[in-house]
Structures are given as C-alpha cells and as structure tokens.
Structure 1
Amino acid sequence: MRIDVLTLFPEMFTGVFGSSILKHAQESGIVQYRAVDFRAYADNKHRKVDDYPYGGGAGMVLRAQPLFDAVDDLIKDEQKRPRVVLLCPQGERYSQKKAEQFSKEDHLILLCGHYEGYDERVREYLVTDEVSIGDYVLTGGELGAMVIADSVTRLLPGVLGNAESAITDSFSTGLLEHPHYTRPADFRGMKVPEILLSGHHKNIENWRSRESLKRTWERRPDLLEGKALSEKEQKWLDEFTRKE
C-alpha cells in the first residue's frame, strides 16, 4: 500500500512514520509513506498557496491549483484513481469502519489544510472523501492524517504480530474491548478474575464477550443503538439494566 500526505509541514511526519509499527510496516515493504510539501507545486515565484476569499471575510483560503497539480503528479503513472481524502471539520466522522475501507485500497492521498479552509473546487472536483477525526478544530490536518495512517496501517496483513489483534480491538466488533490482565495474579491485593486463571477457554470467551458488552453499555451506550444482539447478549443487557 502507498500513503501520500500533502502537507505544508512534511517534517511533522518524520517521527510518526519512522517509529513503532509504522516504521516496521515500511521496512517490511508492506506500506510506503511519503509526506509531500504541496507548496512546491504553487505556480508563482513566491510559492504562495493561499489567497484572500472572494466576497471578503477573515482568514486565507488554500488555492485549488497547487493541490490539483500535486495530486495529478502523484497519480500520473496510475491507471486507477486512488482515494483522495480531505481532512476537514465538515467531513464524515472517522471510524473503524472507515479505516477498514481505506485499508483495502492500494493508494491513499491525504490532504492536510491550514488557514481558513479550501477553495470549494477542491471538495467538488478533486477529493473522494472528506473526513474529520472529531468534533473540534485543529490548526491543520496533519494530526488527522497521522491518525488515519496509523489506524489503516495496523489493519494491513502482516503488520501486527498477531493477526487477531486488529480483529478483536475496540470498535472492530462494534463493541468496546473487554478488560485485560497480566501477571502477577495478585497485585497489592487486587486480584485477576478467577475465570481467567481457570484454563477453561469457552468460559473465558463467554466472560470476555459479556464484559465487552457491559463496558460498551456503561461507557458508549450509543454504540448499541440499532445493533443486532444475540439472545445471550440481550439477556446480559437486560441483567445490566435491572441492576442499574
């Protein structure tokens, strides 16, 4: 997979792409990252990428020309047009489901903006997706692009040591993940649930499923709205509600 980031601050990505899982994925040849300064594509001698908005108003707007030319250059040798993702507050809220969609692509281009916003023609004619990582405003799209690159990379085959890790993560199943424990079994009087020490795999799996549902009900009940539950899960949910 190839992930290109169009940004005015490529140096921000050095540590992210050169560390941990993302570094391993690139060194293993599973993914290739590039942070591209789209200022280099500006068609004026001062490499100016923004201008005043038509109609007046506060702030500056990113010009369409540098972004269109940068994308054209990145895809010039490709027959299939890749997903071009605009990071912006107005976009679809990013989710695990979206990460899974992106992970099936061969090439992603992430557009990071600054200033007041983008020329609207970028939205209308250049991008395929608009994404926001949350209901708040950041200085630019770089942090959002890092989030997307990380969440997508870990879903690629061969990136994680255990392929099931990504499958059982919170949100991958539609529920929050169950609690985890490790040694020692008794730490300062705080003990690991006995069932996890029993060695009875079916009972452990059952406990984890119940705890996953319970944690979701307690912390993110919105995730349960409209979710199809099994008969067993519905029984557990009824128990939680009665105790409440």
Structure 2
Amino acid sequence: MKRTAATFAVAMALFLSAIAFSQRPPDETSRVALDFTGIDTVEVASKDNFSLTFADGQAHEVRVDSPSVHEDIRDVQVSRRGSTLIIATRALPEPTEENPTLRYRELKVSLPTRVRHLILRGSEIEVKTPMPSLDVRSSGPVFLQGDVQQLRVIDTREPAGCKGKCANMITIRSGTIQALTVATRDGSVSLEQAGTIASATLALGPDATFSLGNARRLNTVHLVDLDPLTGDAPVQVAPAEKTD
C-alpha cells in the first residue's frame, strides 16, 4: 500500500511538472552566429530596432528579442559582398483589421573591433573595447558611446525639407575621442560629454543644429560648412558658439 501511494505521488509530481513545462513561455532570445573572416565593413539593411556592440573576446552574433522570436529568427538574412557583411531582415507585416497587433523586433549585434566601417539606417552603438578608428554612415538616428581615437559620423539621410522632430539625430553620449568629425545637412548633433573629446569638427548644413554638454574649452570644437556636392567635405572654419 505504501509503495502504491509513493508511486502515485511520483507520477503526480511528474504530471504536474510536465504541465508546468508545457505552459512555460518559449525562449525569447535566439542567435545567429556571424563570421567576420576578411570583413572590415558591416551594413545593416533593416528598419528594425538595432543596437551594435563592439567587443573583442566574445561570441559575435545577431541576437533577436521579440515576442515571436522563433518566427522572426528565420527572417534574419546574412550575406557577403567583398569585405562587407550585410545583415538584413524581412519586413514585418503591417497591422490589419483582422490582426491589428503591431509586431516589433529588437536585434542586438556584437562585432569585433576589426570592423571599421558601418552603413546603417540608424542604431545605438556601444564600444566596449577601445578602437583606433570607426567610420559610421547612417540614414537614421545614431547614439554612440565608447572610446574611439578617430570617429567619423556621416548623416546620409536624403533632404526631407523638414526641421525639428523629423530631423536626424546624431548623439555622442560619452567616451574618450581624440578626433571627431560629424557631417549633416539638416540634422541635430549633440555632444553630451564634449569635455572628453580632444578635437571635434562639425560639418553642418544651413538647417543643422548642434549642442554641447560639459564642454569647458570651446576652441576644441570647430564648425565648418558642409559641401553641398559631397555632403561631408569641410570648406571653411569658424569659431564655435555654444547653443542650448
């Protein structure tokens, strides 16, 4: 009788564990490993929310975070074009009357510091391993933090004829930078920790704006006119004035 009761208890425990396991939500993170052999440029061709991290000594991959991750991970496409690694995603379906839910994806990419060029539609960038140089060309907002000796950020967004909230944003949040160059036609440039930037050159169009955070020496920041033909070549130097 005791053996029967014990057997029943064990069976019941296994049954309840099986139910609990079946009701547990699936793993909400999936990964795609990346091979950077012979790669010095990464292009992200996606409208999803992307964040990029530069760090050596760890796995380099695309990580997908979303409610429907097991479906979305199949939408990540990785290809090569010469020394460029291209990361793309299939577009998510738009909400409809039958299915009004707005789907989204969060993608996080870890990169080695041998990658020196980025082509983006906007991203948050964190440099955990200091880099000698980095060139960023983006048609969307860029938020960057970390130590880079020579940093260049070019706003490649087509002129939209708008100002204010619809203008592109380029924000350097923090980090020790020896030489910074930022170019934008009508965007907004913010150097939140300008005191840690040894020298900054801002190539601005007539509708562009800029702001400085804790800058103590404004003579380290130089304003230049944006060449209308190339979109990024400085042609004239003028003293910088701090704006709010």
**Structure 1 and Structure 2 fold alike (TM over 0.5):** no
The TM-score normalised by the length of structure 1 is 0.25
The structure, 1 or 2, with the larger RCO (C-alpha pairs under 8 Å, 6+ apart) is 1
* Structure holding more strand per residue: 2
Larger-gyration structure (1/2):
2
* Structure holding more helix per residue: 1
The TM-score normalised by the length of structure 2 is 0.25
